[in-house]
């Protein structure tokens, strides 16, 4: 079963462009380099048989990645197997969010850097990353408040505040190459759990 289904040229171009745009940025990547990485002759312009311009290619790349996120929208298995321990459930949820941010960072960074070429894809990404998350997580928190497991507060404000903290931590790590103030990931999670659970 040497299943070497040959990848269509258009896909190879998208793969190559995604890789190069992430690593070197839009302006820092030439069409010739993309062609070479896609096993086309560098400088031949064969790319233009598949995309009408370099900018259209960028938009196609971003749109494809955003679609993939939407497909992969799972927050992992429900933490019911934590034996109902709120602190453990919270810690798992925060951990998953940080993992997700790490996984999505190349896309987030690309969209941020090249937003001038992108148009509506940017707001769309914002919706995917934040808005849809808030409602789901708020409901879970509200349920715990109702059950008396954590102190009662505004669930949506609390959710967004937590998401901001996790996002800010992640961006500081990526941006400055290390955790802000030397705070390790487990310490951040533990601090947030303490704050939310009101320990």
Partner DNA sequence: GTCTATACGAAGATAGAC
Partner DNA sequence: GTCTATCTTCGTATAGAC
> 184 by DSSP, 3-state: which?
coil
Other C-beta atoms lying within 10 Å of the C-beta of residue 120: 9
Q: Choosing among DNA, its own copies, none, which partner's interface includes residue 197 (Cβ < 5 to 8 Å by kind)?
A: none
Phi/psi at 104 (5° precision): -90, 0
Nearest distance from residue 46's CB to DNA, in Å?
4
Q: Does 136 bind its own copies (CB under 8 A)?
A: no
Phi/psi at 97 (5° precision): -65, -45
Q: Residue 21 or 169: which CB sits closer to DNA?
A: 21
The residues near 132 (Cβ < 8 Å, ≥ 6 apart) are: 73
Distances (CA, A) of 188 to 17, 76, 79, 167, 168: 36, 21, 20, 12, 11
Q: Does 114 bind DNA (CB under 7 A)?
A: no
Tell me which H or E stretch contains 144: helix 132-146
Q: Does 77 bind its own copies (CB under 8 A)?
A: no
Q: Choosing among DNA, its own copies, none, which partner's interface includes residue 41 (Cβ < 5 to 8 Å by kind)?
A: DNA
- Distance, in Å, from the CA atom of 121 to the CA atom of 126, rounded to the nearest integer, reads 9
Q: Residue 42 or 75: which CB sits closer to DNA?
A: 42
Q: Contact region for its own copies (CB under 8 A) — 22-30, 60-68, 83-91, 142-150?
A: 22-30
State which of residues 123, 136, 143, 146 lies at the interface with its own copies (CB under 8 A).
123
Residues that bind its own copies (CB under 8 A): 25, 27-28, 112-113, 116, 122-123, 126, 130-131, 134, 153-154, 156-172, 175-177, 179-183, 187-188, 190-192, 194-196, 198
């Amino acid at each position: 079963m040497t299943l070497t289904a040959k990848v269509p040229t258009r896909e190879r171009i998208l793969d190559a462009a995604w890789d190069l745009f992430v690593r070197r940025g839009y302006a820092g990547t030439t069409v010739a380099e993309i062609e070479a990485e896609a096993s086309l002759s560098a400088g031949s312009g064969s790319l233009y048989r598949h995309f009408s311009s370099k900018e259209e290619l960028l938009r196609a790349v971003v749109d494809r990645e955003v679609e993939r996120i939407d497909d992969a929208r799972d927050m992992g298995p429900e933490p019911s197997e934590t034996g109902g321990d709120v602190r453990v459930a919270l810690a798992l949820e925060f951990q998953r969010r940080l993992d997700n941010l790490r996984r999505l960072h190349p896309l987030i960074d690309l969209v941020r850097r090249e937003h001038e070429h992108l148009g509506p894809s940017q707001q769309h990404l914002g919706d995917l990353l934040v808005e849809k998350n808030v409602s789901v997580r708020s409901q879970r928190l509200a349920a715990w408040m109702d059950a008396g497991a954590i102190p009662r507060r505004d669930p949506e404000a609390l959710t967004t505040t937590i998401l901001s903290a996790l996002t800010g931590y992640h961006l500081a790590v990526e941006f400055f190459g290390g955790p802000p103030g030397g705070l390790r990931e487990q310490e951040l999670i533990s601090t947030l759990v303490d704050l939310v659970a009101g320990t």
